[in-house]
Amino acid sequence: MANENLESKRWLIAIAAVVIQLCLGTVYAWSVFKNPLMNMHGWDGKSVQLTFMLLMGIIGCAAAFGGTLVDKKGPRFVATIGGVLFGIGTLVAGYADQVGNIMLLYLGFGVIAALGNGFGYVTPIATLIRWFPDKRGLVTGLAVMGFGAGAFFMGKIAPAMINSFKEVDAAGKVLSSGVAMTWYIWGVIFLILVTGAAQLFKNPPAGWLPKGFTPATTSVSAADSFTFGEAVKRPQWWMLWAMLCLNVSAGLGLISQHSPLAQDIYKKTMGLIGDLTPEQVAVVAAAGGTVVAVAAIFNGLGRLFWAKISDNIGRRMVFLIMFATQAVVYLLVAMGYVSNYYLFIVVSCYLLACYGGGFATMPAFAADAFGPAYIGKVYGFMLTAWSVAGIIGPFVFEAFKPQALYIAAGLLIAGFAIALVYKAPKGKKA
């Protein structure tokens, strides 16, 4: 009976993990806020883009520290802190738009919300790896699927909220962008949902295994797990770090410019040239939001798909496939073969599915290589690759726009080469 209760409990924790990740993943819809902020305050693209770069950079570092806390203080404590910080940071970002202070925007969304996001992101992954040794790829894919899908809801809902809260005087001057009120509402939602779901988190009893499950001989057991100090001395840890960094750099670069890029392609497809009417501007903005939202679904589905496939064909093979196919697609876009809006939607869906697939497959990859006992710190510090990618990707796509897609393809080819030569580490005593 006790084992049956634990079986039910682990699935309840999995549901709570998805709820948390759905909320945290809304940051991937950042691009729908970019143009309204620029238009309202006259901020240039690079200044606004710095918010997203800070966000992505700090999330990875916070996840590394949060992973250590999960191992020491437990998942409920860390996830609760994450929910509080993420909600408060979003509220501060709303106030930054209201008063027109970009430094406050950096602090709220780029720092406070990012810290909360990193704490909240790593906790469900580290917890579920321990609860689901029998479904490691599937369950980590399910959890981070929520993170990818969160942008779908924000991408579809936020543009409408921004327009509905936008204030314009009789002369047509914009008095309020609508972003502030949108963030105020979402900040409260995050505080309630993330902190509430966090209360369900708990590690399984020591030595517990699902009924009828026998660990595979190809993966490292809990008893033989590498500590972080032991893992980081192996070249395989750094190879996995590099693979994650390269995959994420390409994806984040696209995400950071996704809505503006989609809007440009939409205008070309529809023959919209020159100054646009307010109605046309709204339609174009909605078209950009649609691409963000639809691709976000595949960001989420790709996490579940690739993680599940990795249970069958192996983590390394999944990365080889994703790196090779993405590189080809980025090159096709760069060479002008994807100039139609609807084709761009299809391409975006695949690229974000692979981007999300990397996040979903890597926790299981790391646990297979180094064991689950210290996975909070071992994988948490691996997420510093996310921090580095959060700087590389958005910077490349903002500063080198004509060549950005070619650079993204080059990063993916480098990732393919690393995955090609990767071999699992030998045991600790080898």
pLDDT of residue 244: 96
pLDDT of residue 205: 83
Per cent of the chain over pLDDT 90 is 37
CATH number of the domain bearing residue 121 = 1.20.1250.20
pLDDT band at residue 168 under the 50/70/90 scheme: low
Q: What is the pTM of this model?
A: 0.74
pLDDT of residue 430: 39
Sign (positive/negative) of CA torsion 135, 139, 142, 147?
negative
Tens of pLDDT, residues 411-423: 999 999 999 999 9
pLDDT of residue 10: 86
pLDDT above 60 (res 429)? no
pLDDT of residue 284: 85
The stretch 392-401 carries a mean pLDDT of 84
Average pLDDT, the chain: 86
pLDDT of residue 232: 92
Least confident piece of the model among 83-87, 113-117, 381-385 = 381-385
pLDDT above 80 (res 249)? yes
- Between 286 and 319, the more confident residue is 319
Residue 371 lies in a domain: yes
The stretch 150-175 carries a mean pLDDT of 76
Domain total in the chain: 1
pLDDT of residue 1: 46
The stretch 185-200 carries a mean pLDDT of 96
Residue 156 lies in a domain: yes
Q: What residue type is assigned to position 150 of the chain?
A: G
Distance CA 397, CA 250 (A): 9
The stretch 270-278 carries a mean pLDDT of 79
Q: Which domain holds residue 97?
A: 2-208+215-421
Per cent of the chain over pLDDT 70 is 94
Residue 427 lies in a domain: no
The stretch 369-396 carries a mean pLDDT of 86
pLDDT of residue 175: 63
Tens of pLDDT, residues 36-72: 898 888 898 888 889 988 898 898 889 888 888 888 8
pLDDT above 90 (res 170)? no
> Of 29-33, 115-119, 250-254, 424-428, which has the strongest mean pLDDT?
115-119
pLDDT of residue 115: 96
pLDDT of residue 162: 87
The stretch 259-272 carries a mean pLDDT of 84
Tens of pLDDT, residues 207-243: 777 777 766 655 666 667 888 899 999 999 999 999 9
> Of 85-94, 145-154, 257-266, which has the strongest mean pLDDT?
85-94
Residue 429 lies in a domain: no
pLDDT of residue 247: 96
Residue 428 lies in a domain: no
Residue 50 lies in a domain: yes
Residue 426 lies in a domain: no
Structure tokens, 208:
């517990």
